A and B are shown apart, each in its own frame.
Chain A
Amino acid sequence: MTNIRVLIADDQMMVRQGFTVLLNAEPGIEVVGQAVDGLDAVAKVAELAPDVVLMDIRMPQLGGIEATRRITAPPGAAVKVLVLTTFDLDEYVYEALRAGASGFLLKDASAADLAQAVRVVAAGDALLAPNITKRLITEFSRLTGTARAPLKERVGDLTERESEVLSLIAQGLSNAEIAERLVVAEQTVKSHVSRILVKLGLRDRTQAAVYAYETGLVRPSGQ
């Protein structure tokens, strides 16, 4: 298996250098570049085509959220964005998820958590920190009033089984867990997930979870 190629975008040199050292020490992860602000990150992604971008939120020139939006906007963009925050500010995280980020992490996370996050996001077979992600998504989909109601019709494009899988994704289950729950092979779940993403035009399971909560497929109470 080839290394996961990582780009680190942060305006602080010490953060970039620190994360580079920490991630390069992990097997299977390779830091291929560093960006000093949002604009630089967008350019470096185009140039280096990394698998995962570690993205700081507060940067000069262009903030991390907007940079995430630009990086994930092109259809078919495979790069995953992992947002880094100094503050565990819920609103940032939700904005980041809405902008297309696949996950988020505190800057003071341990090296092991950092590496784990990069791997999970790159593999795309589970939500990062499912509990926190779920809590945030539900909280904010409630706050923002679920403005995407009409999309419900498109949930209709999904088969019954696919809707079921989507709601399990939103509840934070990994592919393996979903397979166990539905008593099918994990490979089957994987193909369900990719069909769901294609049908709904979503880029990864994090976005699928956001979508499921916002369309009301999954209720915040966990129904």
Chain B
Amino acid sequence: MLRVIPVQKGETGAGARFVAALRAVPRNLRDDLWTTAHDPLSRTERPGWRDWMPAFALVLGFTAALIAIPNVNQLTAVYGLNMSYAVLLGGLQSAALVLALVRPVPAWWAVTIAMVIVTALAEPRAPDVFLPWTGPGLALQAGVLLLLALRVRPRAAVEALLISILVGLAGGLFVSRAHDYDIGAAAAILTTVVVIGAALRASRVARTELVMQEELTAEERARRTLLEERNRIARELHDVLAHHMSLISIQAQVAPHLVEDPPDELKENLAAIRENAVEALTELRRVLGVLRSEDPLSEGARHTPQPTLDRLDELVGNVRDAGQTVTARTTGEPRPLSPGVELSAFRIVQEALSNVMRHAPGTEARVELGYEPHALAIRVTNTAPAEPAPPSRTAGHGLLGMRERTTMLGGELAVGSTPDGGYEVTAILPATPRKPPANQVEDTP
């Protein structure tokens, strides 16, 4: 059976929200105050709370102990508690202050309950004593509330404050013995400490968030740099690939012209090769379109082919023209390497030299290329600069790019200072011997 519940007018709009808020109160209270949870101590501040904790504990413990003595005295002498209760309750209140350092919510419960018990047991000897708050009791509760407000959400702190005041109010109302019923002063003191605590917490939270934000931004920047570099590398390699693909398509068309009366099978086969190359090129152009839109090429790069090691002399010459002393040496038998290796090797030398110009201008740079049977060894060094350049905070595009390129090829990269104060970049790129095609001597893809 369906039962239609009429929606009452008061439950819509602001009214409904108010009712909902009221209904949420018990749950909020339970969430906020029936827990031992509190803010973790920040790790980012230095020196932070964590480091000062033992000192705080010491001072607090000393204070708590100092207050305990007059507290117990008062509880026996003024409030008429017997000695064992006085020691127990006074001790509990003092212990709560120390406990508040690590467990503010239970500590607050402890002082509040202690206050209730004191009020219930008290038989004041004079009509003008403070009740339900004893003087020392109020001081300890204020201390605990301050520590609480520093460590929990403002809502929980306000709830604790209100409960403290309500409990005090109830105690004052229901205790029929003559006493000084000055709840206003007590409430004012407790409110003040909670406001101070909450304000301090708010500024700490803001600072922590700022630090986290900065960390995030730095992380984001590093990620971006890495992605940009990978994008650049991918673009260059696809570029080289596209050149080779278009060569295949041209050669497949040219081949039938090179023999007289080519058989039909051969022509068909070559036509299929060409078709495949053209299809692959179409796909490649799409990929390149995506890669390019991310990172537009510089004017110079757009009008020149992707470099190979053939153009190393040109590069060294340009660097020299820019005022950098640089010598280049090649060992082993130079041979054409795979386009990816050639391009990467050129870029690594280029990056290394531009780092030298940027960070150690006026030094002597050396470029060494070693053609080994199964690898190409690249070494770019510079002598010690006259005055040490400021260390850069993060690995820039340069080092990152060199590392990415080396890793991509399965090679090794080592960078670091030399014993004489200079800097050294060494890359070993695996390079299997490649047989050059007969007529590809001056190829620059």
Which of A59-67, A131-139, A172-180, A190-198 is the contact stretch? A59-67
Interface size class of A (residues with CB under 8 A): 20 to 34
Q: Does B444 contact A (CB under 8 A)?
A: yes
Q: How many A-B pairs with Cβ below 8 Å?
A: 81
Whole-angstrom CA separation of A14 from B255 in the bound complex: 12
Interface residues of B in 269-299 (CB under 8 A from A): 274, 277-278, 281, 285, 288, 292
Q: Does A129 contact B (CB under 8 A)?
A: no
Which of B62-70, B246-254, B329-337, B426-434 is the contact stretch? B246-254
A60 contact from B246, B247, B304, Cβ within 8 A: B304
B254 contact from A18, A36, A60, A66, Cβ within 8 A: A18
Closest residue to B307 on the A side, CB-wise? Answer: A60
Contact with A along B288-325 (1 / 0, CB 8 A): 10001000000000111100000100100000000000
Nearest Cβ distance between residue B239 and chain A, in whole angstroms?
A: 8
Nearest Cβ distance between residue A67 and chain B, in whole angstroms?
A: 10
Contact with A along B240-263 (1 / 0, CB 8 A): 001101110111011001100000
Contact with B along A27-38 (1 / 0, CB 8 A): 000000000100
Interface centre among A11, A12, A86, A110 (most CB of B within 10 A): A86
Contact with A along B427-445 (1 / 0, CB 8 A): 0000000000001111111
The answer to whether A108 touches B277 (Cβ under 8 A) is yes
Residues of B within 8 A of A86 (CB): 242-243, 246
The answer to whether B251 touches A14 (Cβ under 8 A) is yes
Nearest Cβ distance between residue A29 and chain B, in whole angstroms?
A: 14
Nearest Cβ distance between residue A179 and chain B, in whole angstroms?
A: 35
Whole-angstrom CA separation of A18 from B257 in the bound complex: 10
Known: A14-B440, A22-B254, A108-B277. A59 touches B304 (CB 8 A): yes
Q: Does A48 contact B (CB under 8 A)?
A: no
The answer to whether A66 touches B443 (Cβ under 8 A) is no
Whole-angstrom CA separation of A59 from B311 in the bound complex: 12
Closest residue to A110 on the B side, CB-wise? Answer: B253
Whole-angstrom CA separation of A112 from B160 in the bound complex: 88
The answer to whether B443 touches A21 (Cβ under 8 A) is no
The answer to whether B305 touches A17 (Cβ under 8 A) is no
Residues of B within 8 A of A58 (CB): 302-305
Nearest Cβ distance between residue B75 and chain A, in whole angstroms?
A: 86
Residues of B within 8 A of A89 (CB): 292
The answer to whether B253 touches A18 (Cβ under 8 A) is yes
A92 contact from B253, B254, B302, B440, Cβ within 8 A: B302
Known: A57-B303, A58-B304. A14 touches B242 (CB 8 A): no
Residues of A within 8 A of B253 (CB): 18, 22, 110-111
Whole-angstrom CA separation of A202 from B337 in the bound complex: 47
The answer to whether B251 touches A13 (Cβ under 8 A) is no
Closest residue to B437 on the A side, CB-wise? Answer: A14
The answer to whether B242 touches A87 (Cβ under 8 A) is yes
Whole-angstrom CA separation of A25 from B245 in the bound complex: 23
Whole-angstrom CA separation of A108 from B275 in the bound complex: 10
The answer to whether A12 touches B303 (Cβ under 8 A) is no
Whole-angstrom CA separation of A157 from B207 in the bound complex: 70
Whole-angstrom CA separation of A32 from B227 in the bound complex: 47
Nearest Cβ distance between residue A59 and chain B, in whole angstroms?
A: 7
Whole-angstrom CA separation of A15 from B302 in the bound complex: 19
Whole-angstrom CA separation of A15 from B305 in the bound complex: 14
The answer to whether B439 touches A17 (Cβ under 8 A) is yes
Whole-angstrom CA separation of A217 from B147 in the bound complex: 78
Whole-angstrom CA separation of A89 from B296 in the bound complex: 12
Whole-angstrom CA separation of A18 from B285 in the bound complex: 22
Residues of B within 8 A of A11 (CB): 305, 442, 444
Residues of A within 8 A of B445 (CB): 12
A19 contact from B250, B281, B285, B304, Cβ within 8 A: B250
Residues of B within 8 A of A12 (CB): 243, 247, 443-445
Residues of B within 8 A of A18 (CB): 247, 250-251, 253-254
Q: Does A107 contact B (CB under 8 A)?
A: yes
Nearest Cβ distance between residue A47 and chain B, in whole angstroms?
A: 21
Residues of A within 8 A of B303 (CB): 57-59, 63-66
Residues of A within 8 A of B277 (CB): 108
Nearest Cβ distance between residue B156 and chain A, in whole angstroms?
A: 58
Closest residue to A12 on the B side, CB-wise? Answer: B443
Interface residues of A in 78-111 (CB under 8 A from B): 86-89, 92, 106-108, 110-111
Whole-angstrom CA separation of A15 from B278 in the bound complex: 15
Residues of A within 8 A of B302 (CB): 58, 63, 92
Residues of A within 8 A of B442 (CB): 11, 13, 36
Known: A22-B253, A22-B257. A107 touches B305 (CB 8 A): no
The answer to whether B257 touches A21 (Cβ under 8 A) is yes
Residues of B within 8 A of A88 (CB): 285
Whole-angstrom CA separation of A31 from B33 in the bound complex: 91
Nearest Cβ distance between residue B296 and chain A, in whole angstroms?
A: 9
Whole-angstrom CA separation of A65 from B281 in the bound complex: 23
Contact with A along B401-445 (1 / 0, CB 8 A): 000000000000000000000000000000000000001111111
Residues of A within 8 A of B247 (CB): 12, 14-15, 18
Known: A13-B439, A58-B304. A21 touches B258 (CB 8 A): yes
Whole-angstrom CA separation of A86 from B292 in the bound complex: 14
Question: Can you list 13 A-B pairs, Cβ within 8 angstroms, ordered by A?
Answer: A12-B445, A13-B439, A14-B250, A15-B250, A17-B254, A18-B247, A21-B258, A22-B253, A65-B303, A66-B303, A87-B285, A108-B277, A108-B278
Residues in chain B within 8 A of chain A (CB atoms): 242-243, 245-247, 249-251, 253-254, 257-258, 274, 277-278, 281, 285, 288, 292, 302-305, 311, 314, 439-445
A14-B251, A63-B304 given. 7 additional CB < 8 A pairs?
Answer: A11-B305, A12-B445, A57-B303, A58-B304, A59-B304, A60-B314, A106-B246
Residues in chain A within 8 A of chain B (CB atoms): 11-15, 17-19, 21-22, 25, 36, 57-60, 63-66, 86-89, 92, 106-108, 110-111
